[in-house]
Amino acid sequence: MTTTVMNRGNTVLVPAPAKAGGHVTIRPDDATLDAFAEELDALRAETMSKVGQKDADYIRRVIRWQRGLDMGGRVVMLVGFLSPLWWTGLFGVLMLAIAKILDNMEIGHNVMHGQYDWMNDPNINSRDFEWDNVGDANSWKRYHNHEHHTYTNIIGKDRDYGYGILRLSDDIAWRPRNLYQFFMYLKLSLLFEFGVAYHELAGERIFFGKKKKNSQLPISREELKQAFFRKIRRQTFKDYVFYPLLCFPVLVPVLLGNLAANLIRNLWTSTVIFCGHFTESAHTFRAEDCEQETRGQWYFRQILGSSNFEGPRWLHILSGHLSCQVEHHLFPDVPAYHYPEMAKTVEQICQRYGIPYNTGSFARQYWTVLQRIVRYSFPTRRELANA
Amino acid sequence: MTATHSQQGPALPAAGGIGRWLAETLTTRPSFSSYFAPFMQYWQPGWSTHAWRAAVMQIRSELSDVYSLVLKPDSRWAGFVAGQYVQLTVEKDGAFCTRTFSISSSPAHWQTTGLIELTIREQVGGRITPWLRQHLHANSVVNISAAQGEFTLQQVPEHRPLLLIAGGSGLTPLHSMLQQLSSEVSAREVHLLVYARDSQHFLFQQALLGYETSLSNLSIQWMDSEQVGFIDESHLQPLQRLLECDVFVCGPSPMIKAARDALRVLHVADERVHFEYFGAAPLDRVAQLDASRVVQFSRSQHVLDVAQASNQSLLEMAEQSGLNPVSGCRIGVCHQCICQKERGVVLNTRTGEYSDTGPEEIQLCLSVPVTDVVVSL
C-alpha cells in the first residue's frame, strides 16, 4: 500500500508544468484538484464496498489455472519431446510461459500490493508471497511499493524510469552510450527478471559504486546480498537442474524449453511495463512537484505518469491488469480485477476536469514506446549545439 | 522463510528441512499443501493449510443471546484438556475471520461422541458472533486450531479443593471442567460461584444442577448481580477452607480484577489464583501514557497523533488510517498480525510488559504505543 497523504499548509503552489515529449500540461488549481480527488475517492470507496467473496473466488481460480498450466506445461514438454512429434513439446513451453506470466502478473504483483490481504488467507497475502522469477519478493516490495509508486515518473527519484539504462526524456542529459540504447532495451527486456532482482542492490550500490548515503534498507547489506543469490540459486535449480534431470532422456530440450518459457515471460512483462509508463504522452516530473503534494495533486501526477492499453479480457489478465496502469497507480491496493470497470468512470471524470487520460490499443501504445526509445537515443539540438 | 535457510548457502539443507526447501524451491510456497490449497478450497470452501476441519452438527440455543455450536472435529485433531480454548475460523465474504472460544464440553464427552461444544455469546454489534448463528447450519464446515491454554486443572494438585468463579459466558471453560469431573464421578470438593447479570442469564443451569447429583462434594451458588451486585470479599468470606482452595476465575476483565482484589484482601496467595480473560487484557494496568504520542506507519507514510488517554491498539490505528495489515484473532493468540516495530515503546496488553525501544517484532493487536512509535507498515 503506497498511497501517500501529505498535508499541506495554506501556501499556494505555483502550478508545475508536467512534461510529456514536447507538450506541457498545466496543473489545475487546488480547489479543482480537491474536487477531482473527492470523486476518485468516492469511486474507490464504492468499489471497495463490492470487494468480497467474488474476488476471493476469482484469485483462487486464477491460481488454479496457474498451477494447472505450470504442472501441465512441464508434463506436455516431457511427453511431447519424447514423442515422434517432438514439436508438440513446444505447447508445453507455451503453457509454462503462461503459467509464469500469470504467477508474476495477475497473482504475484497484485497480491504483493496487498490487494488480497483482506482475505486473511495465509497463502495469499503480501507479507509472505514469493513469485516464480529470480527477483526476491521482499526486495521488490521494498523498492516497488514505496519508491516507484510514491515517486512515479519523477526523474532522479523513480529509478524505474528508464532503469538507469535508458534515456526516455530530455530531463536526462544525453550521453554517447544512449546511441545504442535500443539494443540495451532489447537486452533489458530479455533479461527483465534479473533487472527486477538487481534493482534494489543497484540502488544500494552493493557491488559497485560508493555506498548509498541515508540508506533506509531495513536489513543488512549482507542479508540483501544473500537473499539475492538465494533466489537466483533456487530458480536455477528448479528450471535448469531439477526438472531437466527429472526428464532425463530429453534433458537438453526440457532445459531449453524452460529457458524459453522464462524468456517469453521476461519479454512480455517488460513490454507491459514499458507500455505503462514510457508511452509517447506519459509525463515526467521534477522532485519539487511532489513536495507537500495534496491528494488531488498526487492523483493528477499518477494519471499523467501512466498509460493504459485496451484489449480483450485475456489481455488484461495476462498483463495483471497493468493494462489499466492509470487505475493501478490511483488505487494500488484495490483488487486489480475491478480496474477495467473503474477505468470507464476514471476516464469520464478526467474528461470533465480536462485532465489528459492516456489510453490506446496495445499495438499503438507499444509503437510509441519504441519510438520514444529511439527518439531519445539522440541528443536535442541544444545539446548538440553545446557539444 | 526462515533465517536458518539464509545461512545455509548453496549446500543442501539438513534432513527434515529438505521438504520445505524443495517446496520453496519448486513451488515458491512454504509447503506443497500450500501450493495445492486453492484446489482443496475448490472442493471444500474455507479449507486452510493452517487448521483442522470441523463439521457443525447442531446449533443449540442456550439463552436469548447465547448459543452452542456442536462440532465434530476432523479425526486427526489432537484433543484437549478441560479449560482450553480453540480458534474458530470461518470464511465470511471471502475473508477468513478468526475468533477464540473456550470449549464448554468435556474431553470425556469428545472421547465418547467425537463432539465438542463451543458456547458463544452474541456480541452486540459484533461482526462474527451474530453472523455465525445466522449463517452456520448443520453440515456447515468450519476450521478450528489445536486446543491451547493453561487454564486447566492440570496446573494444580488433585487433592486440593477447588473454588470456581464464573462471570457470564466465562462459565464455559469451568463447565468443561465440571462435566469432566462429573464423568469421572469425582469426590473432589468443588465450590462454584456463578455470576450473571440477572436471573434470566444463568447459563447451563439444568446441566449444573445435574452435576450436583454425580458430584457428591459440589456446591453451587447462583449470584444474581441485580440482587447481590458485583463480586466482592463479602461473597467469598463465608466460604470454608478458602485458603486451601485453588481458585479458577473466568469472566470479563473488570470481574477478574474485582475477584483478584477480593481474594488478595482475604489473603489468598496469588499463585493459587488462576484466571482467564475473555478478550484482551484490560488496559487499566497501563501506569501512565505519555501526554502526546505520534505513531508513524513508515511504509505507507501515514502519521497519526494519538490522543492523551487513548488506549487503542496499533492494529486499530492502522485500520483507521486505511491500512489493511494481515490480522486474525485480534487478541494476541494467532500471531498473524506480527509486524516490525522500528522504534519506540509499546505496551503489550496481554503480558503488561513494556517493549524495548529498538526494533523488534510486535503483535499489533496487543500493542498500545506508550511513546512515539514507528511501525513498518
Give the A:B interface size as CB pairs under 8 Å.
Answer: 101
Q: What is the pTM of this model?
A: 0.82
**Average pLDDT in chain B:** 85
First to last CA, chain A: 44
pLDDT per residue over B190-237, tens digit each? 999 999 989 899 999 999 999 998 899 999 999 999 999 889 889 998
Please give the Cα distance from B136 to B118 (Å, whole number): 13
**Band of residue B354 on the pLDDT scale cut at 50, 70, 90:** confident
Residues of chain A with confidence (pLDDT) below 70 = 1-23, 387
pLDDT per residue over B86-134, tens digit each? 989 999 999 888 888 999 999 999 999 999 999 999 877 777 889 999 9
Task: Please report, for residues A153, A268, A331, the alpha-carbon distance to residue A307 in angstroms, rounded to integers and kept in the order given.
Answer: 12, 17, 14
Q: What is the ipTM of this complex?
A: 0.86
In terms of CA atoms, which chain B residue is nearest residue A56?
B94
Residue with grid cell 453440515, as numbered in its chain: B139
The predicted structure's pLDDT at residue A22? 55
The predicted structure's pLDDT at residue B7? 31
- What phi, psi does B56 have (nearest 5°)? -80, 120
- B153 alpha carbon, distance to own chain's centre: 17
Please give the Cα distance from B21 to B253 (Å, whole number): 44
- CA triple B336-B254-B242, angle to 5 deg: 115
pLDDT at B8 exceeding the cut of 60: no
pLDDT per residue over B124-162, tens digit each? 777 788 999 999 999 999 999 999 888 999 999 988 999
The predicted structure's pLDDT at residue B264? 92
Please give the Cα distance from A369 to A143 (Å, whole number): 24
**Band of residue B4 on the pLDDT scale cut at 50, 70, 90:** very low
| Burial grade of B177 (CB within 10 A; 0-12, 13-18, 19 or more) | buried
Task: Please report, for residues A20, A168, A287, A386, the alpha-carbon distance to residue A171 in angstroms, rounded to integers and kept in the order given.
Answer: 11, 9, 12, 16
The predicted structure's pLDDT at residue B301? 82
pLDDT at B68 exceeding the cut of 70: yes
Counting residues of chain B whose pLDDT is more than 90, the rounded percentage is: 51
From the CB of residue A302, how many other CB atoms can be counted at a distance below 10 Å? 23
Which of B2, B8, B26, B131 is the best mutation test for A, with the most CBs of A within 10 A?
A: B26
The predicted structure's pLDDT at residue B333? 59
B110 vs chain A: nearest CA distance in angstroms? Answer: 29
Contacts of B49 in chain A (CB under 8 A): 122-123
The mean pLDDT of B176-180, rounded to a whole number, is: 97
**Band of residue B257 on the pLDDT scale cut at 50, 70, 90:** confident
Please give the Cα distance from A205 to A213 (Å, whole number): 10
Q: Would you call B26 and A227 a contact, using CB atoms and an 8 Å cutoff? A: no
A216: closest CA among B371, B374, B318? B374
Please give the Cα distance from A264 to A266 (Å, whole number): 5
Q: Which three cell numbers stand for residue A268?
A: 512480455
Please tell me which of the candidates B34, B41, B96 has its beta carbon nearest to residue A60.
B41
CB B323 within 8 A of CB A1: yes
Which secondary-structure segment (H or E) carries B277?
strand B273-277
Domains within chain B, CATH numbers bracketed: 3-43 (no CATH), 52-144 (2.40.30.10), 153-277 (3.40.50.80), 285-375 (3.10.20.30)
Looking at per-residue pLDDT, the higher value among B266 and B307 belongs to B266
**Band of residue B3 on the pLDDT scale cut at 50, 70, 90:** very low
pLDDT at B322 exceeding the cut of 70: yes
Q: Using beta carbons and an 8 Å cutoff, which residues of B are at the interface with A?
A: 1, 5-7, 10, 24-26, 28-30, 34-39, 41-42, 48-50, 91, 93-98, 299-302, 322-328, 336, 340, 342, 376
Helix orientation angle between A181-190 and A362-375, rounded to the nearest 10 degrees: 130
The predicted structure's pLDDT at residue A343? 97
Q: Would you call A1 and B5 a contact, using CB atoms and an 8 Å cutoff? A: no
A95: closest CA among A260, A255, A244? A260
Q: Would you call B26 and A242 a contact, using CB atoms and an 8 Å cutoff? A: yes
The predicted structure's pLDDT at residue B28? 94
The mean pLDDT of B61-85, rounded to a whole number, is: 95
**Band of residue B358 on the pLDDT scale cut at 50, 70, 90:** low
CB neighbour burial string for A250-283, b if at least 16 within 10 angstroms, e if fewer: beebbbbbbebbbbbbbbbbbbbbbbbbbbbbbb
CB B214 within 8 A of CB B186: no
The predicted structure's pLDDT at residue B372? 84
Which of A120, A124, A231 is the best mutation test for B, with the most CBs of B within 10 A?
A: A120
First to last CA, chain B: 19
pLDDT per residue over A299-332, tens digit each? 999 999 999 999 999 999 999 999 999 999 999 8
A339 vs chain B: nearest CA distance in angstroms? Answer: 19
pLDDT per residue over B261-287, tens digit each? 999 999 999 899 998 876 443 333 344
SS3 A9: coil
The predicted structure's pLDDT at residue A20? 58
The predicted structure's pLDDT at residue A8? 31
The predicted structure's pLDDT at residue A125? 85
Q: Would you call B336 and A218 a contact, using CB atoms and an 8 Å cutoff? A: no
